[in-house]
């Protein structure tokens, strides 16, 4: 399963949730965990990863920023990457289904168009799941998660605030909530009286915080999604 979409939309959290739901051992790696300047070491790291996952009754291998490990080889001149990509492909195709030890390979990327096309062929990342920006109910729930236990003034309306946050990623929303909570905290330290997160404080934070995902980025994801569906 390939999870793709704008940054800050919770792809890693979703992979962890899946592991919890199916009671699977979760192996999370990043390119920095695998790559090495020494000849042969990166390939050995990949092999050890798949061997360790195969030893568990049920496991998920989650590779974050997978485009850095499996880049389009026509665009990548590194001799290390020329060896690592085939090793990952070999690991994917070497799952022993007869052993009764299921392995789910999940990858996450913010730039799916930079992936090697070999990983997108049938038998590899068969399922490609677009993780979009949060919708209105999602934004409302995030506000509840991030602000409900904090001192929020009565003039803050979560429903209207959720509507104003259209276009912001989950990471953006969390930052806005955290930033809005810091201001009354510092004020209370200075004054000795408990402060509250007011509508004005949130307005000021929003004024200084633009969405991290642009309309152009979203259009590119839409174009890639249409192309992936056709292919």
What pLDDT is stored for residue 99 in this prediction? 61
The series of mean pLDDT values per 10 residues for the chain, 231 residues long, is: 94 94 91 67 80 89 87 58 67 60 88 86 85 96 93 95 97 96 85 87 95 95 82 58
- Report, in angstroms and rounded to the nearest whole number, the Rg of the chain calculated over CA atoms: 22
Distance CA 57, CA 100 (A): 8
Please compute, for residue 106, the number of CA atoms within 13 A of its CA located in the half-sphere on the CB side.
26
What pLDDT is stored for residue 231 in this prediction? 58
DSSP states of 144-166: HHHHTTS-B-TT--HHHHHHHTT
What pLDDT is stored for residue 220 in this prediction? 95
pTM recorded for the entire structure:
0.83
Closest CA to 110 of 212, 13, 8: 8
Please compute, for residue 181, the number of CA atoms within 13 A of its CA located in the half-sphere on the CB side.
14
What pLDDT is stored for residue 92 in this prediction? 67
What pLDDT is stored for residue 48 in this prediction? 85
What pLDDT is stored for residue 36 in this prediction? 62
What pLDDT is stored for residue 15 in this prediction? 94
Is 85 in contact with 43 (CB distance < 8 Å)?
no
What pLDDT is stored for residue 100 in this prediction? 65
Closest CA to 95 of 45, 56, 145, 139: 56
What pLDDT is stored for residue 195 in this prediction? 85
What pLDDT is stored for residue 24 in this prediction? 93
What pLDDT is stored for residue 69 in this prediction? 79
């Amino acid at each position: 399963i390939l999870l793709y979409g704008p940054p800050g939309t919770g792809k890693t959290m979703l992979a962890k949730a899946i592991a919890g739901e199916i009671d699977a051992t979760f192996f999370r790696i990043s390119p920095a965990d695998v790559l090495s300047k020494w000849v042969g070491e990166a390939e050995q790291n990949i092999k050890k990863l798949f061997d360790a996952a195969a030893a568990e009754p049920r496991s998920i291998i989650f590779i974050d920023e997978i485009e850095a490990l499996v880049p389009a080889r026509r665009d990548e001149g590194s001799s290390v990457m020329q060896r690592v990509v085939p090793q990952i492909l070999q690991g994917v195709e070497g799952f022993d289904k007869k052993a009764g030890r299921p392995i789910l390979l999940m990858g996450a990327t913010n730039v799916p168009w930079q992936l090697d096309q070999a990983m997108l062929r049938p038998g590899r990342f068969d399922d490609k799941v677009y993780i979009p920006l949060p919708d209105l109910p999602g934004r409302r729930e995030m506000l509840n998660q991030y602000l409900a236990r904090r001192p929020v003034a009565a003039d803050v309306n979560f429903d209207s605030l959720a509507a104003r946050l259209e276009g912001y990623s989950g990471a953006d929303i969390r930052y806005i909530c955290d930033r809005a909570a810091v201001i009354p905290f510092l004020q209370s330290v200075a004054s000795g009286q408990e402060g509250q997160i007011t509508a004005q404080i949130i307005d000021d934070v929003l004024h200084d915080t633009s969405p991290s995902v642009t309309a152009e980025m979203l259009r590119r994801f839409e174009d890639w999604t249409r192309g992936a569906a056709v292919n």
